[in-house]
Structure 1
Amino acid sequence: MIKVVKTIELTSGMVTAAPIYSGNGQLVVGSDVMLTPQLINHLKFYGVEEASIQDHHSGEVHADTGKSNLISYQDRIRSTVEFKHFKKEFLKSIRFLRSHIDDIANLKDKQEEEALLSEILSLFHEMDGESHMLEMLHCIRGIDTSTYAHCLNVAILCRLMGRWLHYSKEDVDALTLSGLFHDIGKSRIPKSVLMKPEKLTAEEYSVMKKHSLYGYEMLKPLSLDARIKRVALMHHERSDGSGYPLGLQTEDIDPFSIIVSIADVYDAMTTDRVYREAICPFEVIATFEKEGFSKYNTQYTTIFLSHIVDTYMNYHVRLSDGSLGQIVLKNKKDLARPTLYLSSKEYLDLSAHPELYIKEII
């Protein structure tokens, strides 16, 4: 049961039933968060007048055990009807891509292109907002780590990015297909290189890098939006000229290619690979903030990472020193270092503690 409570009547121990936003749209407190005196004061500071509250809460982190008293937030999502539907559609889309890869490489007409786009759109069916879709993507990681799954993940992230940038429907569709096709050239890379469970040799890496040229060659004769073709060629280019295959810099890189490159790197780093385990999203965000702004467009990167962090509001995390906490406030100037409510019943602003970082989302 959910009830709406005025902010002045909120008390410690109440649990939010929905995300709470400020008047200008900033996320203040996530859903399923136990309120504390500090959080209630925070809501008042942002002028929030009322909040949707649960009658009972779950998932509180206890200081005496260091463990949640119920299943994790991710496990609760995985048990929902929405996630089961998403998983079914996700796996169906991967099977579609896997079985039609030759057709994708030889598109004959607009109908085939629209069929592929329809597969992506089916994943958004009944999804309650963009943050919910990102939660679905986070919880489905590990189910399939193939190139097909990666391309599908990137396509979904690109579609969300297009919305965040307020692109037209036509541009959002083109950006979605750009993400879907960006690695199509890997179909011409030998499996011995593509699936090698360890670091590639210099010679093997040279072979792998050819996939961007192969992809462009495969898409060039087809009646697709030219930006989709350029993404296949340019998605490994970097703003500082350190990318490949052409060594282009910011002004010469197609904007769609910049967006796809951000989604591509984020998904690749946060997903298990044949040669390493997935990296915690907050470690990836920290890497982007430390190194990425010189390699990627700052505006696009900031928008992308900010929305990613919004998704993890109210998640429980484990820090590098082993302590547990819950993310309660985003730090706009240091996205990898939000404020946490620790199992010791204390608040911790990670931006003031450079020796600590989020090691794991639990």
Structure 2
Amino acid sequence: MKIHIMDLSPGDRLKGDVFNNYGVLVLQKESSLSSDAIVKLMQHGIDYVEIEPHTVEHYFQPNNSTSDTIQKIKPFFDEAVDGFEDIFLSALSNGTYDDAKVDDLLQPMVNNLGGQKDVVSLLLLLSDSGNDNYTYNHSLQVGMLSYYIASWLGYSKLEAYEVSKAGYLIDIGKCKLDQDVLSKPGKLTPEEFEEVKRHTIYGHDIILNSTDDEISAIVALQHHERDDGSGYPQGLLDKQIHPYAKITAVADVYTAMTSNRVYQSKHEFLAVLRELNSLSFGKLSPEPTQALIKHLLPNFIGKNVLLSSGEIGSIIMTNQTDFFRPLVRTDSGFVDLSKEREISISEVYM
């Protein structure tokens, strides 16, 4: 019987040879279709195939395991998150922090990042860490993502570490804000928002009072500046913003949007990448933004997802026509999100 490839299931058997539009043999007669074979048919632009009529039970088995490499990094993550609390409280009490302690926390973590290419799994690990203090967890995620973005842009290991450290410290100035305002579930008043914006200035001063690290101080001051001049605190334009601040701004926005906060539920990872792509045309610097998107997208292949339809599946292919709406395999077949626009990914899992 002839069947559309979107309705194929692993285990279906081809009734005849399959050729693409150029006459090239794609799969032979009587081939038993695997998930990879079905993807191959899609990549060759084949819409329908003849299969042998038979019934096979199929099911989706969620993958709940995490690679050993990722699990080895987790203790360094936990230590860096917990350590930031001490740094934050020291800055709150004394207006300074121990810069050597920052290096003691970050260096071991960064040294373990080089061998881990699946950054999405690292982000999922951090989002499921159980640490309910947004500021501390967010600081680590920004530091980690800043390191990766700098590396992808071709910065040296030393430079990438400097960017990571600056990213880790961008919100240190929040220690001087009214914590009730920071944890306010509703919309801030104009006066409250003006005060929150001052965390950039407070952070700049705290860093300079603690160390001679002028770069981290500048990044703390500028990480909310935007290329079109709409940012704060100085309303700087593109070329006036330090390159490191542009990198940390991308990491900051991504992790903020994918995290649960008192006034906002987290957004799904791919939807946030789509939003960042839009922001790269005028707001966020395009180079670090596109580097993040380019390197994160392949990490989603193989990840388990919950669809808005209630089905659970796994991402098997990125659509070239819409990078942010991939092809998903469920226990009932395939869902092409680039075509089935009414369905979306609600959550991504390891």
The bucket for the TM-score relative to the shorter chain is 0.7 to 0.9
Percent identity between the aligned chains?
A: 28
Residue pair 1:174, 1:225 contacting (<8 A) in 2 also: no
Residue pair 1:124, 1:133 contacting (<8 A) in 2 also: no
Residue pair 2:39, 2:317 contacting (<8 A) in 1 also: no
Match of 1:149 in 2: 137
Give the distance between the partners of 1:114 and 1:234, measured in 2 at CA: 23
1:32-43 mapped onto 2 (5 Å cutoff): 35-40=35-40
For residue 173 of structure 1, the aligned residue among 135, 156, 161 is: 161
For residue 275 of structure 1, the aligned residue among 245, 263, 267 is: 263
Residue pair 2:309, 2:343 contacting (<8 A) in 1 also: yes
Give the distance between the partners of 2:280 and 2:310, measured in 1 at CA: 27
Determine helix, strand or coil for the equivalent of 1:131. Answer: coil
Residue pair 2:126, 2:137 contacting (<8 A) in 1 also: no
Give the distance between the partners of 2:227 and 2:344, measured in 1 at CA: 28
Q: Structure 1 residue 335: deviation in Å?
A: 3.0
Change (3 A) 1:100 1:221: closer
Residue pair 2:120, 2:300 contacting (<8 A) in 1 also: no
Paired residue type of 1:245: P
For residue 96 of structure 1, the aligned residue among 83, 90, 96 is: 83
Q: Structure 1 residue 312: deviation in Å?
A: 1.6
1:230-309 mapped onto 2 (5 Å cutoff): 230-309=218-297
Give the distance between the partners of 2:340 and 2:285, measured in 1 at CA: 28
1:175-190 mapped onto 2 (5 Å cutoff): 175-190=163-178
Match of 1:322 in 2: 310
Determine helix, strand or coil for the equivalent of 1:360. Answer: strand
Determine helix, strand or coil for the equivalent of 2:314. Answer: strand
Determine helix, strand or coil for the equivalent of 2:118. Answer: helix
1:26-65 mapped onto 2 (5 Å cutoff): 35-40=35-40
Paired residue type of 2:88: I
Q: Structure 1 residue 222: deviation in Å?
A: 4.8
Residue pair 1:271, 1:278 contacting (<8 A) in 2 also: yes
Give the distance between the partners of 1:96 and 1:230, measured in 2 at CA: 23
1:88-127 mapped onto 2 (5 Å cutoff): 88-101=75-88, 106=96, 113-124=99-110
**1:249-300 alpha-carbon deviations (Å, 9 max, x no partner):** 2121111111101101111111111223221111211222334432111221
Match of 2:346 in 1: 359
Mean CA deviation greater in 292-301 or 154-163: 292-301
Question: Are residue 131 (structure 1) and residue 131 (structure 2) matched?
Answer: no
1:323-338 mapped onto 2 (5 Å cutoff): 323-331=311-319, 334-338=322-326
What is the TM-score normalised by the length of structure 2?
0.76
Determine helix, strand or coil for the equivalent of 1:76. Answer: coil
**1:106-149 alpha-carbon deviations (Å, 9 max, x no partner):** 35xxxx54542332232355567333354133123142142122
Paired residue type of 1:329: M
Give the distance between the partners of 2:306 and 2:81, measured in 1 at CA: 32
Q: Structure 1 residue 342: deviation in Å?
A: 4.0
**Unpaired stretches in structure 1, ≥5 consecutive residues:** 1-11, 14-33, 46-62
4+ residue runs over 6 A deviation:
42-45
Residue pair 2:60, 2:330 contacting (<8 A) in 1 also: no
Number of equivalent positions: 303
For residue 65 of structure 2, the aligned residue among 69, 76, 81 is: 76
Give the distance between the partners of 1:102 and 1:344, measured in 2 at CA: 52
1:151-230 mapped onto 2 (5 Å cutoff): 151-230=139-218
**Unpaired stretches in structure 2, ≥5 consecutive residues:** 1-9, 12-33, 46-55
Give the distance between the partners of 2:122 and 2:201, measured in 1 at CA: 32
Q: Structure 1 residue 360: deviation in Å?
A: 1.8
Residue pair 1:117, 1:173 contacting (<8 A) in 2 also: no
Give the distance between the partners of 1:290 and 1:82, measured in 2 at CA: 33
**1:9-49 alpha-carbon deviations (Å, 9 max, x no partner):** xxx67xxxxxxxxxxxxxxxxxxxx633233568999xxxx
Q: Structure 1 residue 82: deviation in Å?
A: 4.4
